[in-house]
Amino acid sequence: MTNQALVATAQALVADDKGILAMDESNPTCNKRFARLGIPQTSEAHRAYREMIVTTPSLGACISGAILYDETIRQTTSEGIPFVQAVIAAGIIPGVKVDAGAKDMAGHPGEKITEGLDGLRDRLKDYARLGLRFAKWRAVIVIGDGLPSRACIEANAQALARYAALCQEAGLLPIVEPEVLMDGEHSLAQCFAVTEQVLHTVFKQLYTQGVLPEAMLLKPNMVLPGLSCSRQDAAEAVAQATVRCFLRVVPAAVPGVMFLSGGQSAELASSRLNAMNVGFKSRVPWALSFSYGRALQQPAMETWAGQGTNVKVAQQALLQRARCNLAARRGEYRAAMEVTGS
């Protein structure tokens, strides 16, 4: 695939006010979420759940891309259709999580380094052959007492950049996901400072590794106060801090900023994205969009609860969240949509 084709994929993923659905939970994460709801933690339950998602009628009207997990790519729907084909048939571009997870970082207690670079070139070739068009790699940064360390930021940024360079070489659009976690008592200002430092380092490494900014998407955290911070700022303050931070460090050539939800409630994730688009859509160089996992899926997962009889109503819950986030991209999301669904 040429650079032009990668740029076209990036443009397609941000087009028409749509966003990305992250359905790439690894088996341990998926099992943890299923266990809380009393759903069996089996490969067949993962398959059935993800079939419910990708067969949701009209999902492609709001969702441009879906990030899949390796297990899903090798499974089929109950009609025997490989998931990658089912996603394409829904009018959605298929992508895949390619990192091997965030592991404890040697010499740095409390910090993580994402693994998965060994053998990645061959795995990417395989994914391209299977019809995947983009990839995703997540790095995790913790805010805490004396954290994050420079070592953790640098090592994760370099891994993200090496991954992105390999993706572009293989003809897969890289989604670069440096996530500053929400856990902690830190303030909005502290999250701002750490996010700025992380993104600055990531884009320096991307430049060093020769990654083309037009042919990638960024999947960052919003600038938020920690979950245990006594002051929880309004959506407008979050929007202002996030955009101000990103204007300092994200190149204008990057087509889209696809926020992760990171454990925010579905409603907060929509209202904060909406506030960004209301206040800044016409003043920023990139699309302000979403690549949510939990904030799109959680209500649908709870409704489905592992029961085939709940599929239709669970699909309505998923579509409802997708529509709210499409509206948020337009700056047209209203709290009333949560009641009427209109």
Given 33, 112, 123, 294, the residue binding ligand 5MM (CB under 6 A): 294
Binds ligand 5MM by CB under 6 A, chosen from 133, 138, 186, 323 = 138
> Which range, of 21-29, 83-91, 306-314, 321-329, touches ligand 5MM by CB under 6 A?
21-29
Say which residues have a Cβ less than 8 Å from residue 44's Cβ, sequence separation at least 6.
none
- Asked whether the beta carbons of 115 and 140 are under 8 A apart, the reply is no
Nearer Cβ to ligand 5MM (17/25): 25
Return the SS3 of 227. Answer: coil
Q: Which of residues 64-83 bind ligand 5MM (CB under 6 A)?
A: 67
Distance CA 195, CA 222 (A): 9
Q: How far is the CB of 25 from ligand 5MM (least distance, A)?
A: 4
**What distance separates the 2 farthest-apart alpha carbons in the chain?**
53
Q: Which is nearer to ligand 5MM, 28 or 80 (CB)?
A: 28
Task: Please calculate the CA angle 58-59-63 and round it to the nearest 5 degrees.
Answer: 135
Measured CA distances, 233 to 49, 189, 288 (Å): 35, 11, 20
124 binds ligand 5MM (CB under 6 A): no
User: CB neighbours (10 Å) of residue 339?
Assistant: 8
Find, among 280, 230, 237, the residue nearest to 257 by Cα: 280
Active site residue 236: no
Residue of 25, 51, 177, 179 marked active site? 177
Binding residue for ligand 5MM, selected from 141, 238, 260, 311, defined by CB under 6 A:
260
CB of 12 to ligand 5MM, least distance (A): 19
Element (H, E) at 299: helix 294-304
Residue nearest to ligand 5MM (CB): 293
d(CA 319, CA 204): 38
Q: What is the DSSP letter of 131?
A: T
CB of 26 to ligand 5MM, least distance (A): 3
Looking at 163, 192, 203, 292, which residue binds ligand 5MM (CB under 6 A)?
292
Distance from C-alpha of 178 to C-alpha of 223, rounded to nearest angstrom: 12
| Known active-site residue 177 | yes
Q: In angstroms, what is the minimal distance from the CB of 2 to ligand 5MM?
A: 27
Which of 26/209 has CB closer to ligand 5MM?
A: 26
Q: Which of 18, 21, 25, 113 binds ligand 5MM (CB under 6 A)?
A: 25
For residue 26, state whether it binds ligand 5MM (rule: CB under 6 A): yes
List the beta bridge partners of residue 218. Answer: 176, 257
119 vs 146 by CB, closer to ligand 5MM = 119
Alpha helices in 55-149 (DSSP H): 70-73, 83-89, 120-129
- Shortest Cβ distance from residue 19 to ligand 5MM (Å)? 11
Cβ distance 16 to 181 under 8 Å?
no
Q: What residue ranges bind ligand 5MM (CB under 6 A)?
A: 22, 24-26, 29, 67, 97, 101, 138, 179, 260-262, 292-295
Catalytic residue ranges = 177, 219
